[in-house]
């Protein structure tokens, strides 16, 4: 695995840890802004990190406790950009699964900083 690939996969790891610990500052560091998400035919764009986490909590629903990324696969790469396909799983506090879906993350190095720039998800948010 290249150093760049490890940087890209590390972004996913930092993202899920920050999301699950509800650390909005650390979460924002894992994303480039504007940040885009295409899901269910709608393109959502966050120009700044201020509303990102509150929007996520609305999408995830009231039962959401934590999430996981599974089966991360590099499906495209260049020196400064990676496409990573992952299974996203959202869980309730008791560990039961709320939803599972595929998501393609575009992780890029912009101005020397590796972070997710956009993604496309096959989500069925509650």
pLDDT digits (tens, 9 = 90+) for 42-65: 999 999 888 887 787 777 778 889
Confidence bin at 1 (pLDDT 50/70/90):
low
User: In this predicted structure, what is the pLDDT of residue 46?
Assistant: 92
Q: Which two tokens stand for residue 32?
A: 């480039």
User: In this predicted structure, what is the pLDDT of residue 86?
Assistant: 97
- Can you tell me the distance from the alpha carbon of 89 to that of 112, in angstroms, rounded to the nearest whole number? 30
pTM: 0.89
Walk me through the domains of the chain, giving residue ranges and CATH numbers: 3-121 (3.10.450.50)
User: In this predicted structure, what is the pLDDT of residue 30?
Assistant: 96
CB neighbours (10 Å) of residue 37? 21
């Amino acid at each position: 695995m290249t150093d760049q690939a490890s940087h890209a996969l590390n972004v996913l790891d930092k993202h899920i840890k920050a999301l699950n610990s509800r650390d909005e500052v650390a979460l924002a560091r894992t994303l480039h802004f504007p940040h885009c998400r295409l899901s269910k035919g709608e393109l959502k764009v966050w120009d700044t990190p201020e509303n990102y986490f509150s929007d996520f909590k609305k999408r995830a629903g009231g039962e959401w406790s934590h999430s996981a990324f599974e089966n991360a696969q590099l499906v495209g790469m260049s020196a400064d950009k990676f496409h990573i396909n992952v299974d996203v799983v959202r869980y309730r506090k008791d560990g039961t699964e709320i939803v599972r879906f595929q998501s393609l993350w575009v992780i890029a190095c912009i101005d020397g900083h590796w972070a997710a720039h956009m993604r496309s998800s096959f989500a069925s948010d509650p």
